Amino acid sequence: MTGLYLLCALFSSALCSYEIEIEIAAAVHSATEEALRSLPCPEPADIFPCVCTVGTENRMVMNCSAVESEDQLARVFSSNIPFTKFYKLEIEGNRNLKVLRKGDLGPVSFQFIHIEKGVLEEVQYEAFAQSYATAESIDLTLNNVSAFPFEELPLFTSLVNLLLTDNSIPVIPMLQSDSLSYINLVRNLFSEIPVGSFKGLKNISLINLFGNDIDAVLSDTFANLPSLNSVILATNRLSHIPRGTIKFNSTDDGFVNLSTNTISSIAVDAITGLNKGELHLWENSFSVLEEEVFRPLLEGGATIFLQHNPLACDCDMAWLITNPQFMELISSGTTCYNGEHLTDLDPSIFEDLC
């Protein structure tokens, strides 16, 4: 524009004045466009420091990672928000938000709620009330949550995933939901699983309790759940699995992970319905694989992972070592207590001497 001013000074042309007006108008228009909201998002100034973006199919995402307090979050959602059906709430890495209070999210609903890697300690009852009918996933991974309104779960009619990994929840409550399919309670503060904790999860398919401090499970803990096909209890303190603990009724192939415990025994029919699924038992304390326990699982086609167990590999294992079909279903890295691989053992020794 500087060059245009110089030309106009030289020629005093009316045409130049007209050109200057056009450039100024264009600059003002450009600045105004940047300041205006992008429909259907609210005005940027009204929701600052939150940021609203719009993706395909008019999916609005509200990112509030920069909020400085609970009060500021409440102010954002009490502002003028013309369209209240949001796709996703994102709050990541925030070091200020400790309590999600009832009413702080105003009239807005979300399908996906992700509040991760922060210092959140408490979710109050009805904090997500506007999302009862819409929320499909609530992810509060890597916070300090010790208080969560589990009693509200029946009100979330579309909720499929609940992820509370790496938090401080002290006990597993009595859970109830007709829609929940996946619950992740990895690395919290559980030492036990109360009787009936999961009985009310009518559609649950996966329960993940990895990395807690659970030292025992009771019969029927994971039974009578028609859609359940995956249970993860790895990295706890289990030493024995009693009869009837895990009963899968699904036609899908099952998945059970009991690795990195101190399990030395599993009762007959402790785990049923695996079909051609997987049973992970690596890093436990098995010295023998009892035929009445493991034969039904192998006959059903299940693959069993047994690396890093002190297996004696004596005559008690003859039923397995002499059956090539069964051996194909034992993980290739499985060894005896002395490090010798099961696949290197000579079946004829067990046939002749056992």
pTM, 2 dp: 0.88
Give pLDDT, residue 8: 44
254 pLDDT higher than 90 = yes
Structural contact between residues 91 and 114, judged by C-beta atoms closer than 8 angstroms: yes
Across residues 279-284, what is the average pLDDT? 98
Q: What percent of the chain has pLDDT over 90?
A: 88
For 191-205, what is each residue's pLDDT tens digit? 999 999 999 999 999
For 103-147, what is each residue's pLDDT tens digit? 999 999 999 999 999 999 999 999 999 999 999 999 999 999 999
19 pLDDT higher than 90 = no
For all residues of the chain together, what is the average pLDDT?
A: 91
Give pLDDT, residue 36: 53
Structure tokens at 347: 């079946």
119: region left, alpha or beta (phi > 0 left; psi from -120 to 50 alpha) = alpha
Give pLDDT, residue 62: 98
Q: Is the peptide bond between 82 and the residue preceding it cis, with omega within 30 degrees of 0?
A: no
Q: Is 177 exposed, middle or buried (0-12, 13-18, 19+ CB in 10 A)?
A: buried
Give pLDDT, residue 37: 57
93 pLDDT higher than 60 = yes
Q: What residue ranges define each of the domains in the chain, with the CATH number in brackets? A: 46-169 (3.80.10.10), 221-354 (3.80.10.10)
Taking the CA atoms of residue 225, residue 228, residue 230 and residue 231 in that order, the dihedral angle to the nearest 10 degrees is -20
Residues 6+ positions from 28 with CB-CB distance below 8 Å? none
Length of the chain: 354
Give pLDDT, residue 38: 79
Give pLDDT, residue 312: 96
Residues 6+ positions from 322 with CB-CB distance below 8 Å? 347, 350, 351
Distances (CA, A) of 16 to 10, 20, 30: 10, 6, 21
Structural contact between residues 164 and 189, judged by C-beta atoms closer than 8 angstroms: no
Structural contact between residues 42 and 82, judged by C-beta atoms closer than 8 angstroms: yes
For 209-241, what is each residue's pLDDT tens digit? 999 999 999 999 999 999 999 999 999 999 999
Structural contact between residues 267 and 293, judged by C-beta atoms closer than 8 angstroms: yes
Structure tokens at 146: 């010790």
20 pLDDT higher than 50 = no
Structural contact between residues 119 and 141, judged by C-beta atoms closer than 8 angstroms: no
